[in-house]
Amino acid sequence: MDQLSNVTLQNDEFNEHAFQVSIVSVMAVVGTVGNSVVLGLLLTICRGDTTATPFVISLTVADLVVSLVIDSFHIKGILDPEFFIEHTFVCRTVGSLCVAGCIASLATAAAISINRYMCVCRRALHDAVFTDRGNALIVSIVWVYGALYVIPLWIGYGGVRYDLKTKNCMYDRTNIVFTLIFIIVGHLIPTVAVFAANAKLFLYVRDVKEKVKSPVVRRKLLQEELKVFKSLGILCVYFVLSWLQYAVVVVSDPGDVWPAAAHFLSLVIAHTSSSLNAVLFAVTNSNMKKKVKKLCKFTKCTPKHRNKVTTDQMNTFHLRRIHGQGHRPYDVTV
């Protein structure tokens, strides 16, 4: 009877591990391939399409790190937890990279949303802030900001350990002070920024729509000229929501008494954003979709002309012209 019980427990444990490894493996493969393709396109034929491109590149790099490195070590943690218990330095390195990447990604999502809002609604300020030098500075600040969250973990305030419930190396969830700072400052503030920027943009577009009398023109305008804004909005909102549920689970269980499945699934859902961000961007962005199709057909893309009007310039011009603001940007002619 005891032998039968042991065999049953072993089978249940094997099935649980197989299920967990399958989910994380699919995330790792989809995220690595998808982010690699999108990153390659952003760095080559799609480079400079909008002023948000540097931030999308930064977000894609962070997602690629999660998919390629963090998810791979997560699989290792599921199959061989003793490895991280014995090699604490490796565990602390992986956990620190995960924390820094998470914070930097959320801050980047907020930067993208603010960029899109300012591009349409505050164009003069947008052009002054989001220059090549300004974009490089903002991206650098975002990653330094993410790295700052790692310092307390290495000097004894908080810590990084192998989590038996998530089966991954991460910050110590039982440290209430650090967890609250990590969740409230690192998660809540970017979340508010994303929703506020997208809400303001939505209200602006709705105001523009009301000024257009012709239903045909209104429909074409919203379908053709707002695709890039809708695409990045979906990307940022989905990314923030996936991490928001994780924050709720962690904050709601300060005593770490919830079942392991709840914490494991919560972390997996949060990490799916890194796997699916590239897919969402490629599917919802018509320009990126065309580039992916050309890449799949192995056709040569025509390089951008230096004086070609960008997507930002054309989209913003049509909106602001209807709204009665500003003049034609750059070389736009209609």
In a domain, 81, yes or no: yes
Q: What is the pLDDT of residue 291?
A: 60
* For residues 46-51, average pLDDT: 66
The domain that contains 147 carries what CATH number?
1.20.1070.10
In a domain, 330, yes or no: no
Quick one: angle between helices 260-284 and 2-43, nearest 10?
30
Q: 15 to each of 12, 103, 240, how far by Cα in Å?
A: 5, 33, 31
In a domain, 328, yes or no: no
Give the span between the Cα atoms of 207 and 323, in whole angstroms.
Answer: 8
In a domain, 49, yes or no: yes
The domain of 215 spans: 2-323
In a domain, 331, yes or no: no
In a domain, 216, yes or no: yes
DSSP string, 113-144: HHHHHHHHH-HHHHHHHSSHHHHHHHHHHHHH
Q: Is the pTM of this model over 0.85?
A: no
Q: Judge whether 46 and 288 are in contact, CB under 8 Å.
A: yes
CB neighbours of residue 74 within 10 Å: 29
* CB neighbour burial string for 200-218, b if at least 16 within 10 angstroms, e if fewer: bbeebbeebeeeeeeeeeb
Quick one: angle between helices 88-121 and 132-148, nearest 10?
140
φ, ψ for residue 161, nearest 5 deg: -150, 170
3-state helix, strand, coil in the chain (%, to 5): 75, 0, 20
Q: Record the tokens describing residue 126, joined without a space.
A: 């947008």
Q: Record the tokens describing residue 313, joined without a space.
A: 């310039």
- What are the E-state strand segments in the chain? 160-163, 168-171
The chain-wide mean pLDDT, for the chain, equals 78
CB neighbours of residue 36 within 10 Å: 15
Report percent pLDDT > 90 for the chain.
Answer: 31
In a domain, 310, yes or no: yes
CB neighbours of residue 290 within 10 Å: 13
**331: pLDDT confidence band, cut at 50, 70 and 90?**
very low
Domains in the chain, number: 1
- Tens of pLDDT, residue by residue over 264-298, are 999 999 888 888 877 777 676 666 556 655 555 54
